[in-house]
Amino acid sequence: MATKKDTQKADGGEGSVKSDVLREPAERLYASELEAIAAADKFEKPAGWRLSPKAVLLYIMGGKVGETNITPKYVGAPRIVEIAIATLATDRALLLIGEPGTAKSWLSEHLAAAICNDSQLLVQGTAGTTEEQIRYTWNYALLLAEGPSPKALVPSPIHRALEAGKLVRFEEITRCPSEVQDALITLLSEKVLAVPELGFHVQAKRGFNVIATANTRDRGVNDMSAALKRRFNIVVLPVPSDIDTEVSIVARRVREIGSSLKLPAAPPAEEAVRRVVQVFQELRRGQTIDGKQKLKSPSGVLSTAEAISVLGNGMALAGHFGNGRVSDRDLAAGLLGAVVKEDSKDEAVFVEYLENVMKKRGGAWEPLYTACKELV
């Protein structure tokens, strides 16, 4: 899961805050930027928001406020962020969907930090998530001793967000069992949480909203019901479409892996990274980078995170069994493994790619082609 959080954040201003905490929340890490933006923000704010929608966009996409540089938090199409912000501003719940490594959680954290200065109201969805974590639970000792009372009530993050009029983040919503997901349905339409034991309702304050994230690979595990889907505006986060962006994300991350695992190998050359990323992008898109040739895409998804692992793997192979320099042979096996996962038809896809695209490129691609060809 480490790659997931880190692929997009490398531009961030970490290190500006020193503390023992392994990872500070966004609103504390970027506190100075948020303050500068808030001070200069003259536009109208939706009820319960700390910043205006335009200021939130500035915070996410980066720019300049007076003397303060705002680092870009999300690298990609601004339009997507605009749709996300407009969704939250119109009081609709937001569902971010994407491949692993497309900065879903990253974006949701920063949206929450910018809009209500609190990104910590969080439900981490798992197969074991229960309805109590969405509604409320009890302090059973108190409950037994005194019977149901507001004092014995232990509110969930969603419950607290309702009361405070804040954003709550629901991570990996499709990993929760569907009956748990369903608890959200009336909550989102009525904006009220009933506590029948105590005979009262918690009315949502203005500003309350939900940002959920879901992984495209979980499709079919616990699909959201149509009723719940209808309550969300769905925004699909794309994998980086532009090769330079992806190359820089991958290269940086591979360097970090190398140093943190203390691999006895030099990080792969920029050209090697570019080649791997290009293969990934071309197969993922189903066409060559220049758009001139259509390709068949493998059945599995090729995420940025996997490109990183192919290169990391290559480094480990080169370090432990090779001469310390990542060769094309070291990459070929990883590449084949990433493309051909479950379906044997994917092997034909890879062979076609080798013969129709890689072979014709010749030149610098030659060694990688030869190395791959040996394997299939």
Partner 1 sequence: MAARKANLGASTVVPGKTPPTTGPLARIFGVRHLSPMGAWHVERFLDEVDPTAVLVEGPSDATDEIAHLLDKRTVPPVALLAFTQKRPVRSVLFPLAAYSPEWVALRWALRKNRVARFIDLAASVYLARSEAAAEHTHEDDDESDEAEEKPETDTQRYLGDPYEAIAKLSGDPDHDTWWERHFEHSMTPDSYRLSIFELGRELRALEYESPRRREETLVREAFMRRRIRDTIAEGHDPDRIVVICGAYHAPVLVAEEPAMTDEEIEKLPTVPVTRTLMPYSFFRLSSQSGYGAGNKAPGYFQALYEEAREGSTARLGTRFLAEVAGRLRKAGMVRSSAEVIEAVRLAEGMASLRDAHAPTLRDLEDAAATCLGQGEPMNVARFIHDVAVGDALGKVPPGVLRTSIQDDFYRWVKDLRLEDYLKDKEQIIKGSTSKDWLDLRQDRFAKSEDAAYRDRNRSIFLHRLTVLGIGFATNRTSEEDRAQSTYKEVWAARWTPDCEIQLVENALRGDTIEIAAARSIGEALDAAENVHAAANLARRSVECDLSDATAAALARVSTLAVDDGDFVAVAGAALELSHLVAYKDVRKIDVAPLEPLVAQLFLRGALLAPEASRCNEEASRNVGAALGHLHRVGLMFPDKLDVDRFTSVLDAIADDDVASAHIAGVASAILLERGILQDDVLDRRISRRICPGVSPSEGAGFFEGLATRNRYALLSRRSLWAAMSGFVEAMDHDDFRRAVVALRRAFGSFETSEARKIAALLAELWGGNEKELLRAIETKVDDAELAALQDDLGDLDLDL
Binding region for partner 1 (CB under 8 A): 53-54, 57, 79, 82-83, 85-87, 89-90, 92, 95, 97, 229-230, 233-236, 286, 293-296, 345, 348, 351-352, 355-356
Backbone region of residue 153 per phi and psi (left: phi > 0; alpha: psi in -120 to 50; beta: other values): beta
228 versus 251: smaller Cβ distance to partner 1: 228
Closer residue to partner 1 in complex, CB, 150/363: 363
Report, in Å, the least distance between residue 113 CB and partner 1. 19
Residue closer to partner 1 by CB (options 247, 279) is 279
Q: Enter the tokens of residue 375.
A: 């394997």
- The Cα 310–Cα 307 span in angstroms is 5
DSSP, collapsed to helix, strand or coil, labels residue 369 as helix
- For the beta sheet containing 122-124, the strands, ordered from the edge strand earlier in sequence to the opposite edge, are 122-124, 167-171, 209-215, 93-98, 232-237
Q: Which of 252, 296 has the CB closer to partner 1?
A: 296
8 Å CB contact between 243 and 277: yes
Nearer to partner 1, 25 or 63 (CB): 63
- Please write down the HEC assignment for all residues of 162-229: HHHCCEEEEECHHHCCHHHHCHHHHHHHHCEEEECCCCEEEECCCCCEEEEEEEHHHCCCCCCCHHHH
Q: How many residues does the chain have?
A: 376
Nearer to partner 1, 6 or 346 (CB): 346
Q: Name the minimum Å distance from CB 251 to partner 1.
A: 30
What minimum distance in Å lies between the beta carbon of 358 and partner 1? 13
Secondary element (H or E) of residue 122:
strand 122-124
Find all residues with CB under 8 Å of 196, minimum gap 6, and list them. none
Nearer Cβ to partner 1 (194/295): 295
Q: What's the CA gap between 1 and 103, in Å, rounded?
A: 12
Residue 112: name the closest of 73, 79, 76, 75 by CA: 73
Residue whose C-alpha is closest to residue 275's, from 257, 305, 250: 250
Q: Least CB distance from residue 292 to partner 1, whole Å?
A: 9
Of residues 217 and 255, the one with the C-beta less far from partner 1: 217
CB of 203 to partner 1, least distance (A): 22
DSSP 293: S
Q: How far is the CB of 184 from partner 1 (least distance, A)?
A: 16
Closest distance to partner 1 from the beta carbon of 224 (Å): 10
Beta carbon of residue 349, minimum distance to partner 1 (angstroms, whole number): 9
The amino acid at 176: C
